[in-house]
A and B are shown apart, each in its own frame.
Chain A
Amino acid sequence: MADVNRGNRPLSPHLTIYRPQLTSITSIFVRITGNALLVAALMIVWWFVAAAAGPDAFATADGFMRSWFGDMVLFLSTWAVWYHMFGGIRHLIWDMGYMLDVDKSETAGLVMIIASVLMTVLTVIVV
Chain B
Amino acid sequence: MTFMTDRKRAIGTGSAKSGTLSHWHMMISSVAMLLLLPIFIFQFGATLGGSYEEVVAYYSRPVPATIAALTMLVTFYHFRKGVQTLIEDYVHGVARKVLLIAMICLSYGAAAFGVFAVLRIAL
The interface of chain A, by Cβ under 8 A from chain B, is: 31, 34-35, 37-38, 41-42, 44-45, 47-49, 51-52, 55, 58-59, 62, 65-66, 74, 78, 81, 85, 88-89, 91-92, 95, 123, 126-127
Specify which of B33, B37, B59, B110 is in contact with A51 (CB 8 Å cutoff).
B59
B70 CB-CB contact with A under 8 Å: no
Q: Within 8 Å CB of A31, what residues of B?
A: 86
In the complex, the chain A residue whose C-beta lies closest to that of B29 is: A88
Please pick, from A38, A47, A66, the residue contacting B83 in the complex, using a CB distance under 8 A: A38
Q: Which of B41, B117, B120 contacts A81 (CB 8 A)?
A: B41
Question: CA–CA, A115 to B1, complex, Å?
Answer: 42
Contacts of A38 in B (CB 8 A): 79, 83
- Best-surrounded residue of B27, B30, B56 (most CB of chain A within 10 A): B30
The answer to whether A127 touches B42, judged by C-beta atoms less than 8 angstroms apart, is yes
Q: What residues of chain A lie closer than 8 Å to B46, measured between beta carbons? A: 126-127
B55 at the interface (CB under 8 A from A): yes
- Quick one: which of A41, A66, A92 contacts B76, CB cutoff 8 A? A41
- Cβ–Cβ contact A41 & B52, under 8 A: no
A55 contacts across to B, CB distance below 8 A: 52
- Asked if A59 and B79 sit within 8 Å, CB to CB, the answer is no
Residues of chain B touching chain A, judged by Cβ–Cβ distance below 8 Å, are: 27, 30-31, 33-34, 37, 41-42, 44-46, 48-49, 52, 55-56, 59, 68, 72, 75-76, 79, 82-83, 86, 110, 113-114, 116-118, 120-121
> Could you name 16 residue pairs across A and B whose Cβ atoms are closer than 8 Å?
A31-B86, A34-B79, A34-B82, A38-B79, A41-B76, A47-B48, A49-B117, A52-B117, A59-B52, A78-B41, A88-B33, A88-B34, A91-B30, A92-B31, A123-B45, A127-B42
Q: In the complex, which residues of chain A have a beta carbon less than 8 angstroms from the beta carbon of B113?
A: 45, 49
A45 to B68, CA, bound (A): 10
| Residue from the list A49, A74, A89, A91 in contact with B114, Cβ < 8 A | A49
User: CB distance A51 to B34 under 8 Å?
Assistant: no
CB-based contact B55/A51 at 8 Å? yes
List A contacts of B82 (CB < 8 A): 34-35
In the complex, what residues of B have CB within 8 A of residue A85's CB?
33-34, 37
**A66, B30: Cβ atoms closer than 8 Å:** no
B75 touches A41 (CB 8 A): yes
Residues on the A chain within 8 Å of B121, using CB: 48, 51-52
